[in-house]
Amino acid sequence: MFGEVVRGIKLLLDPTQEIDYTPAMQSKEILAKYDKEPVDVARDYLQLLVNAAKETLRRRFGNALDSMEIRYVLTVPAVWTDKAKNMTLTAATDAGISALDVTLVSEPEAAALSCLNTIQPNTIENGDVVIICDAGGGTVDLISYRVKSVNPLELMEVTEGTGAICGSVLLDKRFESYLIGLFGERTYQSLPHKTRETALNHWQDFVKPNFAGASIEDDDEYSEVDYSVPLNGVGDKPEIGLEGGFLNMTKENVGGIFLPVVDEVERLVQDQMVQISMAGMRAKAIFLVGGFGSSEYLFRRLQSAVVDVTVLQPPNAQVFLDSNQSPHTDTIADGLPLFGFSGAVLRGLGGNQVGQRIARCHYGIKFDIEYNPRRHNAADKYWNALTEKWYVGNRMKWYIEKGKPISEDKPIRMNWARNMAKVSCVETLRRVSTSLYICNLDDAPDHLTEDVFKVCTLEANLSAIPRNFFSSGTNSVGQSYYTIPYQIAMTPTSASILFNLEFNGVSYGSVQAKY
């Protein structure tokens, strides 16, 4: 793979997202050629990053590093699926990081912790509601919080987090489409690779971060600005503004590239405003952070769209609107930590500061229930030869409801009862599997439908539970069986779900989730 650059790999960790980012799609082709998965590249990157960090720490602390406890906090987009978040954890553990030492935090939550811990005193007070708009390279994530306490900081989510892949890298895609529209697909692709690369770099480094809008106000210092993009070695075409090796782009040209992307961000913000209003609250401020969040044009558009809410663009929210970095990459410039980075550190050092989150979907299990002719369709029943009873399958029990509050301090306990033949229980008890399902509808169905999706398989080891705690039964043909009631405690955190096996209120270890 030497000489081939893999970019946008983080976007590829969630295959369910629609990706229109050329470097990521090119990386997908490179990985396919070498029979690699995105998680493999993420693992290799994290391994090198961890090794470099440890080497730096060793130079400072020497052998004392060996006795230090190192915690790792990884930030992930809020819009990612549980599978994509788990793939991030897998990449970390495969890179040599202990699963006990790593925590996942959603990117907007990390940004919120940083913003609210570093803003000027008295800017935000107890009870205020703020919107975090984390506009990065790949995704734009939004979450709204009510500040329960400023000092010590404690936040409560008041809306479902929302987001989309509408980050600044889409502007690069649209810039390239703009050039194709001027030259035609065949002519553009025939231009020297270096020429196209130089034009894109100039767009990324000078045009995109400095564009402030196409205002016609007389006192607007940006109103007369046009932009020149180098196209070395390409003959003059005055009709499209290409002369002397430079393509002239008016502010209207650039605005046309920005418009649909910023429209989508504005729509996401307005959606949060509506949700806040429906909750009987009012937003006081919008914190605009992330690489794309440093855009002057995005700032102006949002401020004009929500005139009664203050839009804040904290310093060092991102130093550069730089697509040469991988989307969502946290960096340090001039010794100052950026918001995603410092927020992750604050989460690692201070623990959880979000007392309540809002569930983004329903989580539940599929179960069988004894057949009741008054309640169930006879066509749905089946006979269980072990217990010698009629059952109806594919019933749904939802333990987390979409739009309802959840908390790390309040695990949700899912109840199971397994009937298991005694003759085969020795092996069966070691790996008892069940499935966890999700539903994105506002009102989840009470039975399995096409709107219910399996998210993972939960594998629990029941062999450590003393057998005398199980209920026993024998059917009419002499088969003995156990009835085993147990619970799986589900703890929703910032960006992951933890599972633990419980029996009669006693914990019997973690439960493995296979996505």
Kind of pairing, strands 310-312 and 283-289? parallel
Kind of pairing, strands 381-384 and 389-400? antiparallel
pLDDT interval class at 315 (50, 70, 90): confident
What is the distance in angstroms between the CA of the first residue and the CA of the last residue of the chain? 29
| Rounded distance between C-alpha atoms, residue 493 and residue 498, angstroms | 8
| Residue 321: predicted pLDDT | 38
pLDDT exceeds cutoff 50 at 337: no
Tens digits of residue pLDDT in 432-466: 999 999 999 999 999 999 999 999 999 999 999 99
Q: For residue 188, with 0-12 CB atoms within 10 Å meaning exposed, 13-18 middle and 19 or more buried, which class applies?
A: middle
Compute the CA torsion angle 318, 324, 329, 333 (nearest 10 deg).
-50
Query: How far is residue 142 CA from its own chain's centroid?
Result: 11
Q: What percentage of the chain reaches a pLDDT higher than 70? A: 90
pLDDT exceeds cutoff 70 at 34: yes
Identify whether the C-beta of residue 166 lies closer than 8 Å to the C-beta of residue 140.
Answer: yes
Q: What percentage of the chain reaches a pLDDT higher than 90? A: 76
| Rounded distance between C-alpha atoms, residue 144 and residue 282, angstroms | 11
Task: Provide the token pair at 75.
Answer: 């930030």
pLDDT exceeds cutoff 70 at 179: yes
Tens digits of residue pLDDT in 266-286: 999 999 999 999 999 999 999
| Residue 215: predicted pLDDT | 57
| Of 218 and 206, the one with more pLDDT | 206
Q: Where are the beta strands (DSSP E) in 114-199?
A: 129-135, 140-149, 154-157, 162-164
pLDDT exceeds cutoff 50 at 52: yes
pLDDT exceeds cutoff 70 at 196: yes
For the segment 13-22, the average pLDDT, to the nearest whole number, is 72
Give the containing element (helix H, strand E) for 458: strand 452-460
Identify whether the C-beta of residue 163 lies closer than 8 Å to the C-beta of residue 242.
Answer: no
| Residue 317: predicted pLDDT | 54
**What is the chain's length?**
515
- 298 assigned to some structural domain: no
Give the containing element (helix H, strand E) for 427: helix 425-428
Q: Where are the beta strands (DSSP E) in 39-177?
A: 72-76, 102-106, 129-135, 140-149, 154-157, 162-164
- The total number of structural domains that make up the chain: 1
| Rounded distance between C-alpha atoms, residue 259 and residue 254, angstroms | 9
- 434 assigned to some structural domain: yes
- 188 assigned to some structural domain: no
- 448 assigned to some structural domain: yes
For the segment 141-152, the average pLDDT, to the nearest whole number, is 94
Tens digits of residue pLDDT in 396-437: 999 999 999 999 999 999 999 999 999 989 889 999 999 999
What SS3 state is found at 432?
A: strand
Task: Provide the token pair at 380.
Answer: 């749905």
3-state SS track over 473-515: EECCCCCEEEEEEEEEEEEECCCCEEEEEEECCEEEEECEEEC
| Of 332 and 511, the one with more pLDDT | 511
Residue 441: what are its φ and ψ, rounded to 5°? -70, 155
For the segment 248-259, the average pLDDT, to the nearest whole number, is 96
| Residue 7: predicted pLDDT | 77
Task: Provide the token pair at 216.
Answer: 């016609």
pLDDT interval class at 221 (50, 70, 90): low
- 381 assigned to some structural domain: yes
For the segment 39-51, the average pLDDT, to the nearest whole number, is 95
pLDDT interval class at 478 (50, 70, 90): very high
pLDDT exceeds cutoff 70 at 183: yes
- Its domain, for residue 408, covers 359-514
Mark residue 305 as left, alpha or beta (left: phi above 0; alpha: psi -120 to 50; beta: remaining).
alpha
What SS3 state is found at 250?
A: coil
| Rounded distance between C-alpha atoms, residue 391 and residue 382, angstroms | 5
Look-up: residue for tokens 């070695």? 233
pLDDT interval class at 338 (50, 70, 90): very low
| Rounded distance between C-alpha atoms, residue 161 and residue 142, angstroms | 6
Between CA 366 and CA 146, with CA 455 as vertex, the angle to 5 degrees is: 105
| Residue 155: predicted pLDDT | 96
For the segment 321-334, the average pLDDT, to the nearest whole number, is 38
Number of other CB atoms surrounding residue 142 within 10 Å: 25
| Residue 461: predicted pLDDT | 95
Kind of pairing, strands 154-157 and 354-358? parallel
pLDDT interval class at 16 (50, 70, 90): confident
- 468 assigned to some structural domain: yes
Q: Which of 478, 313, 489 is nearest to 400 (CA)?
A: 489
Tens digits of residue pLDDT in 285-299: 999 999 999 999 999
pLDDT exceeds cutoff 60 at 25: yes
Q: Which residues pair with 141 in a beta bridge?
A: 134, 163
pLDDT interval class at 253 (50, 70, 90): very high
- 451 assigned to some structural domain: yes
| Residue 262: predicted pLDDT | 98
For the segment 310-331, the average pLDDT, to the nearest whole number, is 54
pLDDT exceeds cutoff 70 at 372: yes
Residues 6+ apart with CB under 8 A from 477: none
| Rounded distance between C-alpha atoms, residue 389 and residue 378, angstroms | 14
pLDDT exceeds cutoff 90 at 362: yes
Give the containing element (helix H, strand E) for 356: strand 354-358
Helices (runs of H) and strands (runs of E) counted in the chain: 12, 26
| Rounded distance between C-alpha atoms, residue 339 and residue 330, angstroms | 8
For the segment 459-476, the average pLDDT, to the nearest whole number, is 95
| Rounded distance between C-alpha atoms, residue 419 and residue 403, angstroms | 34
Number of other CB atoms surrounding residue 157 within 10 Å: 20
Q: What does pLDDT average to over the chain? A: 89
Identify whether the C-beta of residue 84 lies closer than 8 Å to the C-beta of residue 131.
Answer: no
Q: Alpha-carbon Rg of the chain, whole angstroms?
A: 27
For the segment 324-340, the average pLDDT, to the nearest whole number, is 39
Q: Which of 76-85, 113-122, 188-197 has the lowest mean pLDDT?
A: 113-122
- 316 assigned to some structural domain: no
pLDDT interval class at 329 (50, 70, 90): very low
pLDDT exceeds cutoff 90 at 120: no
Query: How far is residue 252 CA from its own chain's centroid?
Result: 33
Task: Provide the token pair at 450.
Answer: 């096409």
| Rounded distance between C-alpha atoms, residue 81 and residue 261, angstroms | 22
Distances in Å between the Cα of 99 and the Cα atoms of 80, 246, 347, 373, 512 are 20, 52, 17, 48, 12
